[in-house]
Amino acid sequence: MLTRIAVLLLLSLSPFAGREGDFGFERKEKVSVTAKLSQDGVHAGSYFRAVLLLTVGKGWHINSASPSDENLIATSAVFFPPPGLGVTGVEYPRGVAKRFAFSDSPLDVYEGTVVIMLMITAATEMHPGACELPVEISYQACNNDVCLAPATTKIIIPVRVLAPDVTPTPVNRGLFGVSTDK
């Protein structure tokens, strides 16, 4: 046992420990996350839509929000709204049932681009100005050979509360089913 601890300690002190590409593993992120809004601001007492876009690297997958096995780590988003903001609706997409060499039954997974729809409300007592909605997205990236350790990505959704006389402008129309033709 003492020998094993000594070997692990020496490996951790190695000048190569933690470098990208060590032992055949890439340290690049397998999942990237961005947020897109439906409009450039919201009035107090109103709501708007937003999406979280998760881009899963080619050859990788993450478990869906409703994995087919209770032992699998679900993809999830946790919100930390400031006073006055609320996330009143979260819609996760359905996963795709896929077979992998390491599983006897199909798994419910996400691949490619994953769109999580959100409804965000601003309370009537909010004052005009900028605020931030922190979000933590948790997932576990796997390929056909290996699953990486579970990961959490933190992002900020910027929210601008508008004065009553300012009209919000739609943005990212294609993501929200609104035609970009005028």
Report the C-alpha gap between 57 and 55 in whole angstroms. 6
pLDDT of residue 87: 96
Are 100 and 59 within 8 A, CB to CB?
no
Q: Whole-prediction pTM value?
A: 0.80
pLDDT of residue 125: 96
Q: ∠180-175-169 over CA atoms, to 5°?
A: 60
Q: ∠22-25-29 over CA atoms, to 5°?
A: 120
Nearest to 160 by CA among 33, 39, 34: 39
User: Domain 28-162 belongs to what topology?
Assistant: Immunoglobulin-like (2.60.40)
**Matching residue, tokens 């990208």:** 20
Low-confidence ranges of the chain (pLDDT < 70): 1-28, 178-182
Q: Give me the residue spans of the domains in the chain.
A: 28-162
Summarised one tens digit per residue, pLDDT across range 102-136 is 788 899 999 999 999 999 999 999 999 999 999 99
pLDDT of residue 176: 86
pLDDT of residue 28: 59
pLDDT of residue 180: 44
Report the C-alpha gap between 42 and 133 in whole angstroms. 13
